[in-house]
Structure 1
Amino acid sequence: MSPLPQEKIGQNILLKLATLVVILAGLKLSAEIVVPFLLALFLAIVLNPLVTALMRRGLRRGMAISLVVVVILLIIAMLVGMIASSADEFSAIYPQLQSQAEQKLAVLQHAAARFHIRLSSESLMQRLDPGAMVNVATSMFTQISGAMTQLVLVVMTVVFMLFEVHHLPYKLRNALVNPQIRIAGLHRALKGVTHYLALKTLIGLITGFAVWLVLLALGVKFALLWGVVAFLLNYIPNIGPVIAGIPPVLQALLLNTPLDAGLVAALFIAIHMLCGNMLEPRLMGRGLGLSSLVVFLSLIFWGWLLGPVGMLLSVPLTSVCKILMETTPGGSKLAILLGNGRPVK
């Protein structure tokens, strides 16, 4: 006897789930290869409009790509130099930081004793041991060396992608089974992701510049570094601005005054309210059509699957998956679940 329709449906669901598990396991195991490729892909998506704009001004594609890549490499070199300078300055003020931490922890221990709360300032200060800091610094330099090796691979991949992008429509028309629907879906995905990343970059620049100026006015050290960190973490939805605000607040509490630390915390809250809750929704409009719950869950999922780069690209990756589901038979219902619940006009 042939299986009942319900049994066939169950078998199909199990088969699809098993396929999904195999794909996710493969992505997890091959993250070292997938992550640089995804990063290069999204960098190429962001940089391609700049290359196109330069070509409209009369430059050849090769010259336009070279100019854009040189500018990006100069920006990366400036960031690396700034991080190295900040590391040297941190090593110089570390004794002061340790002394201030001891004083503040002693005051905290005395205040906690009034409420019959026992705190050990010595055990807390062990976490600021110079040997431990040296080990952390060594580990960071090792990771930076590996990242620089991947950076060369990412830049080379971006260059080849930018050279190949104008051949992509021809290849898709001749390679896909249903090219009109597929190309239309890919075009929507690319347009949405480009719009999202461009606006996120603009809002991140505004956020980082505002953080730098206010921290500089308050006399907080490493103001430029914290501005760059705020810019980068702005790409992480929901929790990125919160993570960016923790280090400067703690630093202001140790090296400045509690009033300065409160002003820094109020600064990050105000910037997040202004840029994240007012400016960003106004500029993005309906955005990528994802619900707030899906955005938060995608942050957790892609972060678990691909690490920090997955968190940075969680929203674009989920949006691309949603749009591709809409053009896939049987995937439209799942795409509706990922959407924001508004009807498509």
Structure 2
Amino acid sequence: MSSVTGINKTFVVLAALFVVLGGIKLASEIVVPFILAAFIAIICNPMLRFLARFKIPKGIAIVIIIALVILVGASIGGLVGQSVNDFTQQLPAYKQELQEKFVWLASTAANYNILLDKQQLISLLDPNKLIDVAANMLTGFGGVMANSFLILLIVVFMLFEAPAIGHKVHLALDDPEMKMKEIDRFLDSINSYLAIKTVVSLATGVVASTLLWALNVDYFILWGVVAFLLNYIPNIGSIIAALPPVLLALVTQGPLVSGLVAAGYLCINTLMGNIIEPRFMGRGLGLSTLVVFLSLIFWGWLLGTVGMLLSVPLTMVVKIALENSEDGKWLAILLGSEQPSEPS
């Protein structure tokens, strides 16, 4: 009888989960700005705490933070917007030159008795699709940021409410003495993860822009912003971020500079992803490569472009919540990248 009850409970939970996901999918236009605002508020919360140490009133501190966000966002948005417009105008010419490069590659291979069908090579390695991936993601993200006023308004209210959230949860729980520690660990883990990930992503974008500027690659600020955004997606994001500047360098400056750009991106992502980030973040917050790829597909389907960019942070939130739950630890282990220790 207990097994039947357990099965029924599982079906009820799954049915409720599908209903919730369907509601989120239908209400994505409302949910996406809210999720984006929540992540911005979490990232800004350490700054709010820092200003509070200097006895700055909360209202003034929030005004300072929002002004800083607007200043940085407007500056980067202006530069990136101009770069996107120029790049979009030049895109047909770039695509044509890339196809000519592919034709040249097929002809060169034929001289060494390596027969490649030119049309088949172009269709398999379509440069149009390779460049359009990052461009479409930027366009989709820019469409969401069109609601920037609404997002900033939500961020302001979230920052005002942030100190009271813990107290409200404390009052809402039936057994606060036992559960508040888990809630605190959960919130601290999310804050730590997002803060470290944002700093590492920002450093990745700055270093990538500097590399491209040194190699005189066009639109280096644009590609730095792309590297910053896509660094939230480990492994896959770095590959997508590297493709446009590598192909652009191939078209405008030749194979040598293109190879240097590819090598530079490889070094940057190896340094940031395998050395610096794990050192500060620790191994306990890792996700398996399969989970990263599946989360990219799932959150992208559910929330669109923003879901793809925030797929790993969103999955990390789920994983951290499961780690702090006795019933969900087994699923957190499945999501993680750690190898399970063998019993002695």
Taking structure 2 as the reference length, what is the TM-score of the superposition?
0.83
- Alignment of structure 1 residues 54-93 onto 2, 5 Å: 54-90=51-87
Structure number, greater radius of gyration:
1
Identity over aligned pairs, percent: 45
Partner of 1:154: 151
Indicate how the Cα distance of structure 1 residues 154 and 26 shifts in structure 2: closer, same or farther if over 3 A, else same.
Answer: same
Q: Which of 248, 270, 273 does residue 273 from structure 1 map onto?
A: 270
- The residue number in structure 2 matching 1:312 is 309
- C-alpha spacing 1:63/1:342, structure 2 compared with 1 (3 Å): farther
Structure-1 separation of matches of 2:154 and 2:72: 18
In structure 2, stretches of 5+ residues that fail to align are none
Quote the offset at 1:316 in angstroms.
Answer: 3.2
Per the alignment, residue 49 of structure 1 pairs with 46
**Residue correspondence of structure 1 range 230-309 to structure 2 within 5 A:** 230-288=227-285, 290-309=287-306
Contact 2:299–2:311 (Cα < 8 Å) also in 1: yes
Flag the 1:147–1:87 CA change in 2: closer, same or farther, 3 A: same
Query: Residues 92 and 55 of structure 1: is their aligned pair in 2 closer, same or farther, counting only changes over 3 Å?
Result: same
Q: How far did residue 52 of structure 1 move?
A: 1.7
The answer on 1:7 being equivalent to 2:4 is yes
**Distance change (3 Å), C-alpha of 1:211 and 1:62:** same
2:217 aligned partner: 220
Amino acid at match of 1:298: S
Task: From the superposition, tell whether residues 331 and 104 of structure 1 become closer, same or farther in structure 2 (CA, over 3 Å).
Answer: closer
Q: Which runs of 5+ in 1 are unaligned?
A: none
CA drift at 1:269 = 0.9
What RMSD in Å do the two structures reach over aligned CA positions? 3.2
**Cα distance between partner residues in 2 of 1:175 and 1:273:** 44
Q: Residue 109 of structure 1 contacts residue 120 of structure 1 at CA under 8 Å; is this kept in 2?
A: no
Residue 118 of structure 2 aligns to a residue whose secondary structure is coil
Question: Do 1:211 and 1:268's aligned partners in 2 also have CA atoms closer than 8 Å?
Answer: yes
Distance in 2 (CA, whole Å) between partners of 1:327 and 1:241 is 30
Shift of 1:247: 0.0
Distance in 2 between residues matched to 1:268 and 1:318, nearest whole Å:
25
Matched, 1:118 2:85: no
CA contact (8 A) 1:237 1:299 kept: no
1:30 shift after superposition:
1.7
Q: Distance in 1 between matches of 2:21 and 2:102?
A: 46
Report the AA paired with residue 266 of structure 2: I
CA offset digits 1:153-206 (Å, max 9, x no partner): 111000011111222233222223333344322221221111111111221222
Superposed CA deviations along residues 309-344 of structure 1, whole A, max 9, x for unmatched, are 22333333333323434555643443444344669x
1:172 to 169, 172, 184: 169
Q: What is the TM-score with the length of structure 1 in the denominator?
A: 0.83
User: Which one of the candidate residues 36, 40, 55 is aligned to 1:39?
Assistant: 36
Q: Offset at 1:117?
A: 3.0
Cα pair distance change 1:151/1:257, threshold 3 Å: same
